[in-house]
Structure 1
Amino acid sequence: MIIGVPKEIKNNENRVALTPAGAKELVKRGHTVYVQHTAGEGSGFPDEAYAEAGATILPTIEATYEIAEMIMKVKEPIEPEYKLIKEDQLLFTYFHFASYEPLTKAMVESKAVCLAYETVEKADRSLPLLIPMSEVAGRMAVQKGANYLEKPLQGRGILLGGVPGVLPAKVLILGGGIVGTQAAWMAAGLGADVTIMDVSLPRMRYLADVMPANVKTMMSNEYNIRKMIKNHDLIIGAVLIPGAKAPHLITRDMLKEMQPGTVLVDVAVDQGGCIETCKPTTHQDPTFIIDDVVHYCVANMPGAVPYTSTLALTNATLPYAIQLAEKGWKKAAQDNPDLVPGLNIINGDIVYQAVAEAFDLDYTPVVKYLAD
């Protein structure tokens, strides 16, 4: 198969979809890998490293899309890329379709095959290609939140871990999945007073067993959320419904109940956000303030630590990329059930139900394309 790795053009996105080591694994199996000039530079991987691994460097994004049968990316295509995508071309990347209708409609019109990292799902319901970036984002949420609690950045002016004789900051985490768990570990390690809210009692029992003493669990419901936001300094939204928009757990009216300088970090913003007032921001302009509450809503948080993120992502995606390259998307999905829910759009049909429902569009069961 011919695989193309374009340079990411989303604002301040420095990750790349494939490391030189990943390129070498594909090349030695007889596949052809084309990498756009400087695609890996932001992650610390120069063109020379890809060339040594057997990849061919192409000068432009247009040339990369034109030649490739499978495009490997990190972030969803943005508008300048729409016209470059070809019918039947396989796109293997994060899409988060349910949060952005223009992207969904553009990919339908392209008649490409869109296989989304974020909805590839194992039999145990885990999301193997979302986990590594969720781990990074969960840890970064606390790192960024601690920073924006500083007074010069219009936060409350509170040190996350406190000092002897001074209480630590209170951190509230909405969601006890991968993001929430990693955020809790990070905040607890810095000495904060942490509460995780979730709707699953089995999950909270697990977290209560493994977390240190400064992490508590609480059932997530509107009454409890309204009670907790009044005295918490950093609130992290870590809610995920695979492939669908996140529910709004914090609404516009709740901001007036928070202390001035409270910091909100919505890690779910690339899936619509679980905080009603959050809208996607960039690393270049990451925050805004409503009712004296600081909102940090960067949609590609792991892009700020691209070396770590690129290695973590390739570790997870490469086995699937090899299967797709060896067998083609249809046979790979027939042989590996993990890939079936990853298929979101095929040749103009939306085959992932939550995406179709998000915009009231027609839904086609994926079995139509996988039947022999």
Structure 2
Amino acid sequence: MIIGVPKEIKNNENRVAVTPAGVYALVKAGHKVLVEKTAGLGSGITDEEYRSAGAAMLEKSSEVFREADLIVKVKEPLESEYELFKDGQALFTYLHLAPNRPLTEALLRKEITGIAYETVQTADGALPLLVPMSEVAGRMAVQIGANLLQKYNGGCGVLLGGVPGVPPADVVIVGGGIVGTNAAKMAVGMGARVTVLDINASRLAYLDDIFSGRIATLYYNEFNMMTIIRQADLLVGAVLVAGAKAPKVVSEAMVRTMKPGSVIVDVAIDQGGSIETVDRVTTHDHPCFERHGVIHYSVANMPGAVPRTSTYALTGATLPYLLQLANLGPERALLEDHSLLSGLNTYRANLTCAPVAEALGKEYVSPERLLVSFKQAS
């Protein structure tokens, strides 16, 4: 199989989808890997390192898309890339289709086999290709929030950990999953007072156990959210419903009650955002806006700011699945691995991810039903 690795073009996106180790493994398995020149530079990987691992380097992304059977990316394709798709091509990347109708329509129109990192799900409910970037984003959320709280950035001038005689800042985290847990780790480590809200009582019990009383846990409901948000210096939105648009768990009325100069970091923005006042996706160039006296940060590719760490964390998780897709071909790999099958969002002009179909008001088609003809033929 010919695997293509184009350079990422999203604003300040310096990650790359395959490292030299991945190239080496794919070439050793008998595949051809095409990498766009300078694709890895943002992550500290040179073209020569790719060549040494066995990759062929191409000048333009259009050449990569034209020649490859399977395109591997980090972030969802942008509009300028839609016209580069080949009919029937396979695509393996973060897609986040629920809030993105134009990309969904483009994938369906070109009959792309679109496999989304964020919906690959194991039998126990884990999301193995979302976890590494959720860990990065969760930790970054607090790091970024602490910086934005500084007065010259428009914040209220609070030091997250306080000092002797002066209390620390209050960090409120909505969602106790991977993002929320990692945000709590950073906030606790920096000395903040931390409260985590979640709807899952067993998850709250788990967090209470692993943090040994160093955080407060609170069951999420509207009343509790209205009460706790008033004391927040930093609010982290960390809510996830796999494949679906993020629910709005913090209303505009709640945001109005926050302290002047407090900060919101909505990590769920790549799925539409979980804070009602976060009504736009920002970029690393212009990451913030102010609403009701509160600083809002809503960059959709947060891990792109730390590409060296993020690239190696992500590709370590994606490579085993990429090898399956290459070695078996997409259809057989999907049939043989149910966790990979759960990642299938589009196939032959059909939407095969129920939460995406629901969010966009489109018909959902079972991927097993679509793949049965392939199974019978083989």
1:291 aligns with 2:298: no
Q: Calculate the TM-score normalised by the size of structure 2.
A: 0.97
For 1:39 and 1:155, the matched residues in 2 are separated by 36
1:111 aligns with 2:111: yes
Q: Structure 2 unaligned runs (5+)? A: none
Match of 2:57 in 1: 57
Instruction: Count matched residues.
Output: 372
- For 1:346, give the aligned amino acid: Y
For 1:212 and 1:264, the matched residues in 2 are separated by 26
For 2:277 and 2:109, the matched residues in 1 are separated by 31
For 2:196 and 2:179, the matched residues in 1 are separated by 11
Query: What does the per-residue CA deviation read over 1:304-351, in whole Å, with 9 as the maximum and x for residues that have no partner?
Result: 000000000000000000000000111111111111110000011101
For 2:103 and 2:226, the matched residues in 1 are separated by 34
> Residues 268 and 274 of structure 1 are in contact (CA less than 8 Å); yes or no, is this contact kept in structure 2?
yes
Match of 1:317 in 2: 318
Match of 1:345 in 2: 346
1:327 aligns with 2:328: yes
For 1:366 and 1:336, the matched residues in 2 are separated by 13
- For 2:347, give the aligned amino acid: I
> Residues 287 and 295 of structure 1 are in contact (CA less than 8 Å); yes or no, is this contact kept in structure 2?
yes
For 1:366 and 1:228, the matched residues in 2 are separated by 43
Q: Structure 1 unaligned runs (5+)? A: none
Instruction: Note the 1:72-221 alignment, pairs <5 A.
Output: 72-221=72-221
1:304 aligns with 2:320: no
Query: What does the per-residue CA deviation read over 1:182-223, in whole Å, with 9 as the maximum and x for residues that have no partner?
Result: 000000000000000001111111110001433111000110
Spell out structure 1 runs of 4+ moving beyond 6 A: none
User: Secondary structure of 1:92's match?
Assistant: strand
For 1:293 and 1:103, the matched residues in 2 are separated by 32
Match of 1:239 in 2: 239
- For 2:355, give the aligned amino acid: A
User: Secondary structure of 1:183's match?
Assistant: helix
Displacement after TM superposition at 1:254 (Å): 1.6
Query: What does the per-residue CA deviation read over 1:155-204, in whole Å, with 9 as the maximum and x for residues that have no partner?
Result: 11000000000000000000000000000000000000000000111111
Displacement after TM superposition at 1:99 (Å): 1.3
Displacement after TM superposition at 1:251 (Å): 1.3
Match of 2:360 in 1: 359
> Residues 115 and 343 of structure 1 are in contact (CA less than 8 Å); yes or no, is this contact kept in structure 2?
yes
Query: What does the per-residue CA deviation read over 1:116-167, in whole Å, with 9 as the maximum and x for residues that have no partner?
Result: 0000000000000000000000000000000000111111100000000000
> Residues 87 and 347 of structure 1 are in contact (CA less than 8 Å); yes or no, is this contact kept in structure 2?
no
For 1:62 and 1:359, the matched residues in 2 are separated by 29
User: Secondary structure of 1:246's match?
Assistant: coil
- For 1:140, give the aligned amino acid: M
Q: Calculate the TM-score normalised by the size of structure 1.
A: 0.99
Displacement after TM superposition at 1:370 (Å): 2.2
- For 1:162, give the aligned amino acid: G
